[in-house]
């Protein structure tokens, strides 16, 4: 069966695929008939297919006219149609077209196999002769012939080059809100696994809420799975990050980088005016007012699974349930964090390896991005910079990741609210560079400012601010920062 989430996405493509060629709208119109949809969706699909057949494009701005036509003869259900139309409009802003079309293709194949099988069985009823066998074989052969129309050959290089533009869709990438990373192709992206590694208690979960809120701001739907922190605490942090709230009344300061060209010339200390706090008596009024803005964007759902209980099959079943029951198909899955999922400790390395491989498989299968924080091993304690040799539990995480980032912070940097992100591995772009970020966790901000780090000028500034020559200490330890 086509879930309601898939049906809504298909109808959104039928109505609002405003691309000049309307390839998705035409493809959906050719794959499914209106009768394949549930009531209400079927009426929208029927009118959209009629429009596409006549004008060879999706209705777009004329979709509202189709709604008016429908409700004019269904006055008793007027409000239901309006509510569904509004939901379809919102869905159209971020349809995961590849995944949705794959599910529709699977549905049509199942229907064809069922119909052909029934026809073949009926042909063989009673006394069987040569003609009946031929009819049964023809019915079964029709399945393979019809599959050819849905077969995707892949991308031919010459055809891609004739288009004159590189085969990249900006909709495949999800900004981190950290400028030097977003200027590259090392952002989280569909069909990729993005891993951030840090020491225990050093910012992994703050990055998780940071990325989730960035998604919200860029109209990207997110499923955030927590296996470490309580669901309520993660939701509270999301509110902090979204609205820059403190937990209690306090003065907030942060650092801002001063630059001249590619050089960092100074670190300016900034003070913020008093911010609203989560513990304020009237905070409920502010949250209620802001909720209206959030509800107009694709959903962000936070789900807690107790440590050591979540398995890959359970995660898949949960996602299928969201798709079926609440029309939710996320663009990004964040798992905080996979090392706390259920596995057999007797085969720790192999089991952890498989969890990360399976998560990347979900990214490809569902055409979504997967972001997964992980923890460094004990050898990373006190290290000025984490590298792949500090990966905890299983080195397979590093091999599986498309982008692997380490979070680094010395004590002097922590005093200044600074940290470094080392782009340790990146399949999609040049890696091995460092991004300097300033932070303000008191208002839920993982990144307030960011620059690509020129090593010498930065470390001299840290020495000037704190009196500690971190660069010299690292060099004596044989570590390159």
Give the model confidence (pLDDT) of 130-184 as tens digits: 777 877 777 676 665 444 444 455 677 777 777 776 666 667 899 999 999 999 9
Asked if residue 270 and residue 406 are part of one domain, the reply reads: yes
Asked if residue 190 and residue 127 are part of one domain, the reply reads: no
Give the model confidence (pLDDT) of 87-129 as tens digits: 999 999 888 888 998 888 888 878 778 877 888 888 888 887 7
Domain boundary among 162, 180, 198: 162
User: Residue 132: its pLDDT value, please?
Assistant: 77
Of 102 and 193, more confident: 193
pLDDT classification of 378: cutoffs 50, 70, 90: confident
User: Residue 147: its pLDDT value, please?
Assistant: 45
Residue 304: inside a domain, yes or no? yes
pLDDT classification of 63: cutoffs 50, 70, 90: very high
Domain boundary among 74, 95, 116: 95
Closest CA to 250 of 277, 268, 269, 282: 277
Of 117 and 365, more confident: 365
Strand order in the sheet with 418-426: 300-304, 222-226, 332-336, 369-375, 193-198, 403-408, 418-426, 434-440, 445-452
Asked if residue 203 and residue 57 are part of one domain, the reply reads: no
- Binning the chain into helix, strand and coil, the percentages to the nearest 5 are 50, 15, 30
Asked if residue 187 and residue 56 are part of one domain, the reply reads: no
User: Residue 149: its pLDDT value, please?
Assistant: 43
User: Residue 265: its pLDDT value, please?
Assistant: 84
Average pLDDT (376-401) is: 88
Report the greatest alpha carbon distance in the chain. Answer: 97
Compute φ and ψ for 144, nearest 5 degrees: -70, -35
- Of 147-156, 211-220, 353-362, 463-472, the least confident: 147-156
Average pLDDT (27-49) is: 92
Q: How many CB atoms lie within 10 A of CB 263?
A: 12
User: Residue 148: its pLDDT value, please?
Assistant: 40
Residue 157: inside a domain, yes or no? yes
pLDDT classification of 379: cutoffs 50, 70, 90: confident
Q: Which residues pair with 224 in a beta bridge?
A: 302, 334
* Residue 316 confidence (pLDDT) above 50: yes
Reported pTM: 0.78
Closest CA to 302 of 371, 230, 197, 361: 230
User: Residue 128: its pLDDT value, please?
Assistant: 79
pLDDT classification of 355: cutoffs 50, 70, 90: very high
Residue 37: inside a domain, yes or no? yes
Average pLDDT (303-309) is: 94
Quote the CA–CA distance of 33 and 451 in Å, as a whole number. Answer: 52
User: Residue 264: its pLDDT value, please?
Assistant: 81
Residue 380: inside a domain, yes or no? yes
Average pLDDT (412-417) is: 89
Give the model confidence (pLDDT) of 209-244 as tens digits: 999 999 999 999 999 999 999 999 999 999 999 999
Strand (E) or helix (H) holding 186:
none
Asked if residue 258 and residue 153 are part of one domain, the reply reads: no
Which tokens go with 241? Answer: 């990050």
Q: Which structural domain range is residue 145 located in?
A: 99-162
Average pLDDT (392-401) is: 90
User: Residue 276: its pLDDT value, please?
Assistant: 93
Quote the CA–CA distance of 450 and 471 in Å, as a whole number. Answer: 20
Asked if residue 366 and residue 269 are part of one domain, the reply reads: yes
HEC-encoded secondary structure of 450-471? EEECCHHHHHHHHHHHHCCCHH
Asked if residue 190 and residue 214 are part of one domain, the reply reads: yes
Residue 123: inside a domain, yes or no? yes
Of 135 and 388, more confident: 388
- Of 51-65, 242-256, 376-390, the least confident: 376-390
Residue 481: inside a domain, yes or no? no
Per the structure, how many domains does the chain have?
3
pLDDT classification of 43: cutoffs 50, 70, 90: very high
User: Residue 384: its pLDDT value, please?
Assistant: 81
**467: domain CATH number?**
3.40.50.300
Asked if residue 210 and residue 111 are part of one domain, the reply reads: no
Residue 167: inside a domain, yes or no? no
Asked if residue 296 and residue 218 are part of one domain, the reply reads: yes
Instruction: Provide DSSP, 304-337.
Output: E--TTT--HHHHHHHHHHHHHHH----SEEEEE-
Asked if residue 369 and residue 297 are part of one domain, the reply reads: yes
Give the model confidence (pLDDT) of 254-287 as tens digits: 999 988 876 788 889 999 888 999 999 999 999 9
User: Residue 364: its pLDDT value, please?
Assistant: 94
Residue 419: inside a domain, yes or no? yes
Asked if residue 111 and residue 70 are part of one domain, the reply reads: no
Average pLDDT over the chain reads: 87
Asked if residue 184 and residue 155 are part of one domain, the reply reads: no
* Residue 479 confidence (pLDDT) above 70: no
Domain boundary among 95, 130, 147: 95
């Amino acid at each position: 069966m086509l879930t309601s989430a898939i049906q809504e996405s298909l109808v959104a493509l039928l109505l609002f695929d405003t691309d000049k060629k309307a390839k998705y709208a035409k493809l959906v119109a050719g794959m499914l008939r209106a009768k394949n949809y549930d009531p209400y969706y079927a009426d929208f699909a029927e009118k959209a297919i009629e429009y596409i057949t006549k004008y060879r494009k999706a209705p777009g701005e004329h979709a509202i006219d189709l709604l008016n036509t429908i409700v004019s003869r269904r006055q008793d259900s007027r409000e239901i149609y309006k509510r569904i139309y509004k939901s379809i409009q919102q869905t159209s802003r971020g349809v995961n077209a590849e995944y949705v079309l794959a599910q529709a293709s699977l549905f049509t194949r199942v229907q064809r196999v069922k119909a052909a099988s029934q026809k073949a069985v009926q042909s063989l009823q009673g006394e069987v002769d040569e003609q009946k066998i031929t009819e049964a074989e023809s019915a079964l052969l029709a399945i393979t012939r019809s599959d050819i129309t849905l077969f995707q050959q892949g991308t031919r290089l010459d055809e891609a080059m004739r288009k004159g533009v590189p085969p990249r869709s900006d909709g495949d990438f999800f900004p981190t809100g950290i400028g030097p990373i977003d200027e590259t192709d090392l952002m989280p992206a569909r069909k990729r696994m993005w891993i951030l590694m840090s020491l225990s208690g050093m910012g992994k979960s703050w990055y998780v809420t940071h990325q989730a809120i960035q998604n919200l701001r860029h109209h990207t739907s997110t499923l955030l799975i927590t296996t470490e922190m309580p669901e309520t605490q993660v939701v509270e942090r999301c509110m902090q990050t979204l609205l820059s709230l403190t937990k209690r009344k306090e003065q907030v300061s942060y650092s801002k980088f001063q630059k001249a060209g590619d050089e960092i010339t100074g670190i300016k200390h900034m003070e913020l005016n008093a911010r609203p706090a989560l513990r304020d008596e009237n905070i409920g009024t502010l949250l209620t007012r802001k909720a209206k803005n959030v509800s107009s964007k694709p959903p962000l759902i936070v789900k807690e699974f107790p440590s050591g209980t979540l398995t890959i099959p359970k995660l898949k079943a949960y996602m299928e349930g969201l798709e079926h029951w609440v029309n939710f198909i996320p663009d990004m899955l964040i798992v905080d964090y996979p090392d706390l999922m259920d596995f057999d400790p007797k085969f720790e390395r192999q089991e952890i390896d498989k969890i990360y491989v399976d998560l990347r498989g979900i990214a490809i299968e569902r055409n979504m991005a997967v972001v997964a924080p992980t923890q460094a091993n004990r050898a990373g304690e006190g290290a000025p910079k984490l590298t792949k040799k500090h990966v905890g539990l299983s080195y397979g995480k590093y091999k599986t990741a498309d982008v692997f980032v380490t979070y680094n912070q010395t004590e002097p940097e922590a005093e200044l609210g600074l940290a470094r992100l080392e782009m340790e591995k990146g399949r999609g772009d040049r890696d091995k560079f460092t991004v300097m970020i300033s932070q303000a966790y008191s208002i839920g901000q993982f990144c307030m400012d960011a620059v690509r780090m020129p090593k010498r000028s930065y470390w001299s500034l840290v020495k000037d601010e704190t009196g500690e020559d971190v660069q010299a200490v690292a060099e004596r330890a044989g570590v390159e920062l």
